[in-house]
Amino acid sequence: MKHTVLSVSVWATLITTGFSQSRESARRGLPFLRPDDQQILQKQSEGFFKAIDPIADKTGENAVNVFSSGRMVARGTVTADGVLTKWSELVSKGDNIWVIGHDGVKRDAFVKGVYLEYDLALLDYGGGLSAVDIKQAEAVKPGEFLIAVGPAKEAHGLGIVSVAPRSLRESDKAFLGVRMDFNPIKGGGVRLESVEKGSAAARAGLVSGDVVTQVNEKKVDGLHEMGNFLQSLKPGDQMVLHFRRNAREFSVDVVLGARPERGQFSPQRLKQMKRMGGTINDVAEGFPDVLQSDMQIEALDAGSPVFDLDGKFVGLVVARASRIKTYIITADKLAIQLEKEPNMSVGLEKKTRLIDRRKAGITAVEAKELRQLGNIIERAKRRILEIENRE
């Protein structure tokens, strides 16, 4: 793939700073850094954003800011069918909708329909803006860089593809039933800290202390590699798992199960999560098939079009889910959605249930309070701490 040429110094900056963030957070800086280091990081990050601004200047023609009841509530992506934006953010703020594109013109808009699976609203805005070319979109792989843009002449988010497209529905997630050790092992592999009783791993004969060295034909070098591989599978998939026990090598066939229901976070844990990280969307889980990036944006940026470094359309942001998780519906899945008839009659009660059902970690008391608010549902500001996923 041909990529836009960036200076060596900028790429070095990207690599050495572990760079995946929003432009605004880069400008604010990190609170735990010394003032001198803060200044250096801000200068470096701004240099990288300026290097990709020419891409954002062009692709920003396909983006809008979405307003409702007097304030901005989300971003939007211009398609041939209308503007796609974050449904739950739009419905929770009231009526009187308009959009503003790269030309600065205010255009009144209304909801044509809703794609509930991905929490997307399709807006009729009257036309006049450049639409993304969904059919000529670019497929991306883990490790490739992405940028999120708005109608201004700047990119507001950048990051890499961290996990290939997969379902976020609990019923679609494969479950091995082990807890893996973070510590590296000489010679490679992942040590199993524990094996859950009755799980796929237990049924296959795995026990605590076993070291997984290979899955199918793929060698396992570490925990994250193993975790990412498991995330690509679904319940019922079969794999050959190679492992080491007491210096002896074994292999076993494993049929993966479904992820069991987990209890909600305690109120204390939920409060701690809300105090950490940036803002996240209320509807941030349960999507059928999304790509995951470590792009650090704000909840307000949901709906943004996403491009690669050649300016090719990749998809749009459906949710900011945590400090290191931004979910993107890819162009091919977006095209499939737009071929369907959108929901044209989503009532208020259904809208409220949608937000209540998908809001991660919300307590019953909070849910009851939200239902009582009717058509004015306040945005919950979340401070999130990434929690270890059980695979």
pLDDT tens figures, 325-344: 899 999 999 999 999 888 87
Same domain, 250 and 114: no
Same domain, 161 and 183: no
Same domain, 76 and 54: yes
The CATH number of the domain holding residue 310 is: 2.40.10.120
Same domain, 158 and 286: yes
Say how far apart CA 213 and CA 220 lie, in whole Å.
5
Residue 330's closest CA among 161, 114, 80, 91? 161
Same domain, 93 and 213: no
Residue 115's closest CA among 337, 375, 333? 337
pLDDT band at 5 (very low <50, low <70, confident <90, very high): very low
Largest distance between two CA atoms of the chain: 70
Same domain, 8 and 69: yes
Element (H, E) at 158: strand 155-166
Same domain, 106 and 230: no
pLDDT given for residue 372 in this prediction: 45
Same domain, 157 and 300: yes
Q: Is 325 exposed, middle or buried (0-12, 13-18, 19+ CB in 10 A)?
A: buried
How many domains, in total, are found in the chain? Answer: 2
The answer to whether residue 275 scores a pLDDT higher than 70 is: no
Predicted confidence (pLDDT) per residue in 214-253, tens digit: 999 888 888 877 877 787 777 778 889 999 999 899 999 8
Strand partners of residue 138:
none
Predicted confidence (pLDDT) per residue in 110-153, tens digit: 999 999 889 999 999 999 999 999 887 778 888 899 999 999 87
Predicted confidence (pLDDT) per residue in 151-183, tens digit: 987 888 888 888 766 555 555 567 888 989 888
Give me the torsion for CA of 52, 71, 346, 105, rounded to 10°. Answer: -60
Same domain, 164 and 196: no
The answer to whether residue 380 scores a pLDDT higher than 60 is: no
Q: Of 234, 258, 282, which one is at a domain's C-terminal end?
A: 258
> Measuring CA to CA, how many Å separate 330 from each of 81, 117, 163, 164?
17, 14, 12, 10
Q: pTM of the full predicted structure?
A: 0.60
pLDDT given for residue 235 in this prediction: 75
Same domain, 122 and 250: no
**How much is the mean pLDDT over the chain?**
75
Are the C-beta atoms of residues 169 and 201 closer than 8 Å to each other?
Answer: no
Mean pLDDT calculated for residue range 271-298: 75
Which residue range(s) make up the domain with 216? 174-258
Q: Of 239, 258, 277, which one is at a domain's C-terminal end?
A: 258
Local structure of residue 208 (DSSP, 8 states) = T
CB atoms within 10 A of CB 205: 13
Same domain, 193 and 301: no
Residue 1's closest CA among 179, 175, 139? 139
The CATH number of the domain holding residue 183 is: 2.30.42.10
Same domain, 110 and 216: no
Say how far apart CA 271 and CA 344 lie, in whole Å.
37
How many H helices and E strands in the chain? 10, 21
Say how far apart CA 371 and CA 354 lie, in whole Å.
11
